[in-house]
């Protein structure tokens, strides 16, 4: 590993932790705000978001069946919408310093796309409740697949900002991206096993690790075609990452983890 690769790994690690957590926060608050707007008192809504355990929202008295549908869709929609808006705002002025925020959009697309498909049979999940409210299951699956495809394309563009050039060999791309993303999943698994050996949290950690590994392989595979597309549209792809960028990424991740531990538990 060269110094440049290590700097990129540090930046990707920090950006992954930051964007993953900001997405979880916006997802849960999207649910909470629409539930409140639908008539549930704010005092009855309790949001619990831990950086390493499964985030969830508890509502005293439960959610009336008449309210399923829109509030359930609001969480994924909020995460994807805000992530893509931030991506669009930052795109023209993107730098390695803004990479953690830039990564939010692609990760939200893939995270919510996979999440809806994987929970189609899970009782009480967003996907199940949306379908119960009348949303067509084939359309939900189609939208989820489209989100994943958009996310992978944007990942391919975003990682170039992290100093992973189009000329980087295939297996080195996988190594840098995977070594940057997977450790957050491993950290989640370690803390779950040590602090709260809950099977749901442990299974979620394995899913995070597997998901990041798959993202690394797919993004590495499409990197050259995406790079050629970027070159055709004269999109800048030559970014140099410094130690300051890596430290900034890890710093942002640390801040959002601490904020969750202090205020959202």
pLDDT at residue 142, rounded to an integer: 97
Residues facing residue 59 across a β-bridge: 45
Report for 116-130, 180-194, 227-241: range of highest mean pLDDT: 180-194
pLDDT at residue 12, rounded to an integer: 98
Tens digits of residue pLDDT in 178-209:
999 999 999 999 999 898 668 889 999 999 99
pLDDT at residue 94, rounded to an integer: 94
How far apart, in whole angstroms, are the C-alpha atoms of residue 141 and residue 185? 25
Query: Could you give the number of structural domains in the chain?
Result: 1
pLDDT at residue 39, rounded to an integer: 85
CA 27 to each of CA 24, 62, 80, 111, 247: distance values in angstroms, whole numbers, following the listed order? 5, 19, 9, 11, 27
* Angle at CA of residue 14, ends 58 and 201, nearest 5°: 35
How many Cα neighbours within 13 Å face the side chain of 53? 17
Between 85 and 43, name the one with better pLDDT: 85
Q: What is the mean pLDDT of residues 207-221?
A: 95
How far apart, in whole angstroms, are the C-alpha atoms of residue 219 and residue 158? 10
Q: What is the mean pLDDT of residues 111-133?
A: 88
Q: Does the pLDDT value for residue 235 go beyond 90?
A: no
Q: What is the mean pLDDT of residues 99-111?
A: 98
Q: Does the pLDDT value for residue 129 go beyond 90?
A: no
pTM of the model: 0.94
Q: Compute the CA torsion angle 191, 196, 199, 201 (nearest 10 deg).
A: -50
Q: Report the candidate in 138, 119, 135 with the shortest Cα–Cα distance to residue 68.
A: 135
Q: Give the range of the structural domain holding residue 167, as residue numbers without chain letter.
A: 3-263
Query: What DSSP character marks residue 168?
Result: S
How far apart, in whole angstroms, are the C-alpha atoms of residue 90 and residue 196? 38
pLDDT at residue 122, rounded to an integer: 82
Residue 196's CB: how many other CB atoms inside 10 A? 14
Q: Does the pLDDT value for residue 14 go beyond 90?
A: yes
Q: Does the pLDDT value for residue 45 go beyond 70?
A: yes
pLDDT at residue 65, rounded to an integer: 64
């Amino acid at each position: 590993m060269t110094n440049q690769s290590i700097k990129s790994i540090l930046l990707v690690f920090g950006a992954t932790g930051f964007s993953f957590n900001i997405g979880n926060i916006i997802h849960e608050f999207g649910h909470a705000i629409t539930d409140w707007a639908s008539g549930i008192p704010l005092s009855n809504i309790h949001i619990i978001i831990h950086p390493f355990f499964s985030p969830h929202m508890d509502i005293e008295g439960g959610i009336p069946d008449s309210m399923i549908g829109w509030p359930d869709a609001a969480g994924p929609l909020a995460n994807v919408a805000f992530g893509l808006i931030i991506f669009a705002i930052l795109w023209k002025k993107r730098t390695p310093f803004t990479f953690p925020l830039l990564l939010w959009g692609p990760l939200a697309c893939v995270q919510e796309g996979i999440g809806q498909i994987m929970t189609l049979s899970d009782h009480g999940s967003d996907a199940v409740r949306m379908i119960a409210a009348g949303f067509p299951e084939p359309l939900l699956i189609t939208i989820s697949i489209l989100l994943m495809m958009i996310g992978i394309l944007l990942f391919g563009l975003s990682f170039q900002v992290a100093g992973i050039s189009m000329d980087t060999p295939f297996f080195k791309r996988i190594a840098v991206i995977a070594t940057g993303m997977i450790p957050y999943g491993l950290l989640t698994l370690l803390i779950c096993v040590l602090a709260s050996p809950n099977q749901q949290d442990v299974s979620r950690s394995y899913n995070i690790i597997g998901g990041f590994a798959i993202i690394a392989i797919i993004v590495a595979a499409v990197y050259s075609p995406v790079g050629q597309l970027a070159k055709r549209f004269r999109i800048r792809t030559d970014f140099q990452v410094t130690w300051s960028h890596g430290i900034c990424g890890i710093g942002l991740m640390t801040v959002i983890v601490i904020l969750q531990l202090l205020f959202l538990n």
